[in-house]
Amino acid sequence: MVEPIHLPSRADRSAALERAGHNVFNLDSEDVFVDLLTDSGTGTMSTAQWAAMFEGDEAYAGSRSFHDLREAVEDVTGLPHTIPAHQGRGAENALYGTLLSEGDVVLNNTHFDTTRAHVANQGAEAVDCPVEGAWDHDSEGEFLGNFSIEKAWDVVDEVGADRVTVVVSTITNNSAAGQPVSLENLRETAQFARDIDALFVLDACRFAENAYFIHEAERSEASERASGETASREREAGQHDRPLAEIARAQFDDADAVVVSGKKDGLVNIGGFVACREESLADRVKARTTLYEGFPTYGGMAGRDLAAMAVGLREAVEPPYVADRVGQVAYLGDLLADADLPVFQPTGGHAVYLDAGAVLTDIPAERFPAQRFVCELYRESGVRAVELGEFAFPGAGRPQLVRLALPRRTYTREHLDHVADGVAAVADRAGEYEGLEVVTEPPMPELRHFSARLRSVPA
Ligand SMILES: *Cc1c(COP(=O)(O)O)cnc(C)c1O
């Protein structure tokens, strides 16, 4: 599918920004030229996916499209029981609502926002265990998304092993700059979960991108060996010659259950699923799915959408696709790094993360430097990015990040060159901007960045 886009005039962009209350979630997509708000559900489907949609079976129970999806999930992950959901958070509700009760503790390399919310919704506590340096754009290393076993043992010492009922690894680690998790770390995390008698869950929205990083880490190590250089980075021994699909599947070897938003590496615009190894757990998840999502062979999805996701999951691990995908993100990251802008490197699989706090140094965190950066980037170039800093996570003490997330199979290099020019132009005038303050916000503070309105105030 091809969709025309257009760049409104600078005056129109400024007017749109005012109407939106300096919050790009309030912009109409018609007013956006290159939309990097999110990679979730915003990609382009293939001819094979569209063809599969025409053959979607809309039966209420036991549809052919469900069986196609179940087979695809088993081929890709090795897990035999699939329960569809309308999107990732629906799958989270079905799984975590089944597994967790009041007072439980969940450990995760980093909880994605909706995961944290579902854990909290069960009266359980979400504790992050990222590795040292995960929040620092100066950090180097190939697997900064890893789960810290050391931190996890500290938490167990503090709260007691009995309370920690679920251990999660999020691949890639979306909230920590989309950084990958190594196979070795997945194995160690699974072993840790077994040691404390907890269930091991993979939040595997970006399983294909993560597998690609594992594959590439070993390749760079192999070529360094060949050229006589010593490899300084953490690496994955023996993964270089393995087919990507096999590495992808190996990631799931020790998982008891998996939650996936199909809007990422499912390559669809809507959908998700839970997959389980044991039938007994699957049966419990199905009961809750029936309550909140729908009959467990469709789980809130149309048959045609199940069919498209079945094809998308297989396409996601085709090497040319994923090399191009991760390569595009790296291309944009390199353009910005070459312009001396503070971006996380190596870049993650789905987005470039810019430390706007290190660019707009005159604006203190409570005046939202990253949100200012997002607004000025839109004014400058019609590019929509998103703030992940003090505005999105009030009081969390996180760095002031701007995320540029790339939709899959959508933009070209020319678009990315345009984005990089815009980012550089905003950074060039770093001393000239005012800060922002919130004028109106919704009742739930966790949701304020989706709809709050802001106004300019002196920094
Ligand atoms: C997107 C995402 C989710 C939630 O999925 P939705 O489809 O947006 O509901 C959960 N976990 C991670 C890591 C995600 O990136």
pLDDT in tens, 265-290: 999 999 999 999 999 999 999 999 99
- pTM of this structure: 0.94
Q: Which is the closest atom of ligand 1 to the Cα of 175? A: 13
Centre of ligand 1 to C-alpha 87, Å, is: 8
Residue 396 reports pLDDT greater than 50: yes
CATH placement of domain 10-42+328-453: 3.90.1150.10
Q: Which residues line ligand 1 (CB under 6 A)?
A: 40, 87-89, 112, 114-115, 170, 174, 203, 205, 261, 263-264, 272
Please check the confidence at residue 163 and state whether its pLDDT lies above 90. yes
- pLDDT tens column, 212-263: 999 998 666 666 656 655 444 444 666 767 899 999 999 999 999 999 999 9
SS3 content of the chain, % helix, strand, coil (to 5): 45, 15, 40
- Range(s) of the chain covered by CATH 3.40.640.10: 47-315
Res. 300: pLDDT tops 70 = yes
CATH code 3.90.1150.10 region(s) in the chain: 10-42+328-453
Pocket test for ligand 1, best of 87, 96, 111, 114 (most atoms within 8 A of CB): 114
**CA dist., res. 204 & res. 215, Å (int):** 17
Angle at CA of residue 250, ends 135 and 196, nearest 5° = 65
Mean pLDDT of all residues belonging to the chain: 94
Task: Determine the residue of 171, 175, 205 to mutate for testing ligand 1's pocket, defined as the one with the most ligand atoms within 8 A of the Cβ atom.
Answer: 205
Q: Give, in words, the CATH class of 47-315.
A: alpha beta
CA distance 338 to 263: 31
pLDDT band per the 50, 70, 90 thresholds, residue 459: confident
CA-atom Rg of the chain in angstroms: 22
Higher-scoring residue by pLDDT: 400, 240: 400
Structure tokens at 344: 């996380």
Residue carrying structure tokens 């409570």:
366
Which atom of ligand 1 sits closest to the CA of residue 174? 13
| Tally of CA atoms within 13 A in the half-sphere of 190 that contains its CB | 18
Q: Evaluate whether 311 touches 98 at the Cβ level (below 8 Å).
A: no
Confidence of residue 175 (pLDDT cuts 50, 70, 90): confident
Residue 90 CA: nearest ligand 1 atom is: 9
Would you call 314 exposed, middle or buried from its count of C-beta atoms within 10 A (0-12, 13-18, 19+)? Answer: middle
Strand pairing report for 81-85 and 272-276: antiparallel
What distance in Å separates the CA atoms of residue 87 and residue 125, rounded to the nearest whole number? 23
Closest CA to 430 of 386, 352, 377, 390: 377
From atom 11 of ligand 1, which residue's Cα is the shortest distance away?
A: 112
Compare 35 and 450 and report the one with higher pLDDT: 35
Q: Which two tokens stand for residue 432?
A: 């000239």
Condensed to tens digits (0 to 9), the pLDDT of residues 90-143 reads: 999 999 999 999 999 999 999 998 999 999 999 999 999 999 888 777 777 789
Work out the percent of the chain whose per-residue pLDDT is above 90. Answer: 85
Region of poorest pLDDT, from 133-137, 166-170, 291-295:
133-137
Q: What is the residue with the minimal CA distance to atom 7 of ligand 1?
A: 88
